[in-house]
Structure 1
């Protein structure tokens, strides 16, 4: 996916160069509480994760990873990614993470809107899904602001916390 801009953000390829900015929030329990990975203990953890995911994004058409960057100061404040799957790679499920210093300012809703548009345009994705733990009301609100609605409840196994019940939302597209 090409780099794209919103009113306040740039969505660009994430890289190991973003590790310091990522570590700033990835080390916080409040951030990883609902994620599939544990808080990072050192900068090396953020470097390893970014290295692994950015390589996967370059090598596979079925994975997209973007850094969410503030235009005003070029600071990476989060990431957004998607796994593309299904017959003809027409389905995608996204995930995101944001530095809590930037919560409740509309940044994630803004990033997700543009990210979803690009998944449709550049990758020909027809169905977009997102999942959240029931208690993660902030993620639910971000998805609802982006025309997403309840689809199903699923159970997934996360290495750091075992089986988790997730609420899965699907984009409602009016074409």
Structure 2
């Protein structure tokens, strides 16, 4: 697979590389960042390297996981990917994580808009969805900013870290997206 590099006004979305491990560990080990994700905080930089290697190895298949980097410095600030991709049904689901050092700056909305556009324009998707824990206001704002429509709350839909969580579901359809 020839991995797509995406460019936005302030970001470059590129393939993950093992050299991203230290920057990823800074946020992946932060409990505030991992509070609303399905994985536990990383406890060592070695764990982060193993995770990155797992993701890099998946590029041999059809894997759409991008490193989110600042355009002016190539600084790695997070990841965004299609956590679910169904070619036959033409449906994708996006997920993302960004360093707490970059919260509230609009970077993840910018990255999400780019991969949604890519999903419709290049992957021929009909529907792109995203879910978040009901308490995750930051993630919900990203979904709203990129034009996703709230579909409802799935009660106790995810068991993670010993607790059941309600999940909010958002989506955007091809005909709702601005593909110009």
Match of 1:45 in 2: 47
Count of aligned pairs between the two proteins? 172
In the alignment, structure 1 residue 127 sits paired with structure 2 residue 127: yes
Structure 1 residue 174: deviation in Å?
A: 2.6
Match of 1:78 in 2: 78
**Greater Cα offset, 113-122 or 85-94:** 85-94
Any stretches of 5+ residues in structure 2 without a counterpart?
Answer: none
Equivalent runs, 1:106-121 vs 2, <5 Å: 106-121=106-121
Equivalent runs, 1:1-175 vs 2, <5 Å: 1-56=3-58, 58-61=59-62, 63-86=63-86, 88-154=88-154, 155-158=157-160, 160-172=161-173, 173-174=175-176
Whether the aligned pair in 1 keeps the contact of 2:131 and 2:169 (CA below 8 Å) is: yes
Structure 1 residue 85: deviation in Å?
A: 3.6
**Structure 1 stretches (4+) deviating beyond 4 angstroms?**
none
Using the size of structure 2 for normalisation, the TM-score is 0.89
**Greater Cα offset, 26-35 or 87-96:** 87-96
Residue 101 of structure 2 aligns to a residue whose secondary structure is helix
Instruction: Kindly provide the CA deviation profile for residues 11-69 of structure 1, in whole angstroms up to 9, marking residues without a partner as x.
Output: 0011222111100111100000000011111111111111112222x1332x3100000
Structure 1 residue 168: deviation in Å?
A: 0.9
Residue 170 of structure 1 aligns to a residue whose secondary structure is strand
In structure 2, the CA distance between the partners of 1:31 and 1:74, relative to structure 1 (3 Å rule), is same
**CA-based RMSD:** 1.6
Using the size of structure 1 for normalisation, the TM-score is 0.91
**Greater Cα offset, 108-117 or 78-87:** 78-87
Any stretches of 5+ residues in structure 1 without a counterpart?
Answer: none
